[in-house]
Structure 1
Amino acid sequence: MSSKSARQLSASFFSASERCLTERRCGDESLAIIPVPGIVCGVFSIEIGFKSLLMAAGDAAKGHNLLKLFEKLDSSIQDEIIKGVGLDRVCFMKELGEMADSFTQWRYVYEHEEVGISLNFLHQLAKATQHTAERVVGF
């Protein structure tokens, strides 16, 4: 797969995540989201976004650990994503470390008694990754 194809796939999962995590009116007038598919798609969009950036730099990446993938990115790309999220590096790395294995955890959420994730950080990171990948890889 090319970096551009990976970037487009990442954008598709980002869109799916946004659709699932956007509150919508249900028949009884309550608001609802579809959390687990939204989280899985959001985290996967970040993973593929990171991989598209690595591919564009001529690097290959395997695995689902977001922290390990992020650490392989060029420091200027890391800085751009961190700035897009709006945190300092220390706070960003702490948040990313806490959700590093989220794709596996949330994909198999039924196997865990308790899982958690910051939806705000997930959304900000996914959005910043999309912006950076679009600039670097194109669309």
Structure 2
Amino acid sequence: MAMDLGLSQATASAFLEAFRRCEPGANDSKYFMAFPALVCAAFSAEVGLKTILKREGISAHGHDLLSLFMQLSDEKMIEIADETGISIEDFAAHLNHSKKAFVEWRYIYEVSGEKMISLLFIGKFAAAVEAAGLRMKNAV
């Protein structure tokens, strides 16, 4: 299946914008918007990572953010991690903890028990992936 890189980058950016509009405090909705924000940011990061990977000549599949991230060139991994402004130790811990964010949080209503994740990290990660992807797009 061919990937339209322009459309995939635009899709990642659109879901990042949806995250920003759903962030707690960003709107006056009567609904708790943190869950939709998290799912949108995780999906944005996933599509963005797949777009970068395709630009690097790698066809990637799946929803595991850590697995997708680890397939990137060392240069891109460092660029994205640095862009978040988070220490490399905290970045690695958060990414490992958040690797299945899209899968786990889109069906959060089916899970019993307490689940914890950093909405701030997922947002920063998605924004860093978007920035790296846009730089690649503009360099072409």
What's the TM-score, normalizing by structure 1?
Answer: 0.89
Q: Given that residues 38 and 123 in structure 2 are in contact (C-alpha distance below 8 angstroms), is that contact kept between their aligned partners in structure 1?
A: no
Task: Give the corresponding residue for 2:53.
Answer: 54
Task: After TM superposition, list the pairs within 5 Å mapping 1:126-137 onto structure 2.
Answer: 126-137=126-137
Counterpart in the other structure of 1:25: 28
Bigger mean CA offset, 87-96 vs 63-72: 87-96
Counterparts of 1:6-25 in structure 2 under 5 Å?
6-23=8-25, 24-25=27-28
**Matches of 1:49 and 1:115, distance apart in 2:** 25
Distance 2:86 2:60 in 1: 25
In 2, distance between residues paired with 1:77 and 1:38? 25
The one-letter amino acid of 2:100's match is D
> Aligned-pair distance for 1:105?
0.5
- Does 1:4 pair with 2:3? no
How far residue 2 of structure 1 moved from its aligned partner, in angstroms, is 2.1
Over 3 Å off, 4+ runs: none
SS of residue paired to 2:62: coil
* Contact 2:48–2:130 (8 Å) recurs in 1: yes
Alignment check: 8 A CA contact 1:47 1:66 kept: yes
Local SS of the residue matching 1:42: helix
Q: What runs of 5+ residues in structure 1 fail to find an aligned partner?
A: none
Please, what TM-score do these two structures have when normalized by structure 2?
0.89
In structure 1, what residue type is equivalent to 2:61? K
Q: CA deviation at 1:128?
A: 0.9
Task: Report the aligned-residue RMSD.
Answer: 1.6
In the alignment, the residues of structure 2 paired with residue 4 and residue 71 of structure 1 have an alpha-carbon distance, to the nearest angstrom, of 23
1:105 aligns to 2:104 (yes or no): yes
Shift of residue 120 of structure 1? 1.3
Q: CA deviation at 1:130?
A: 1.0
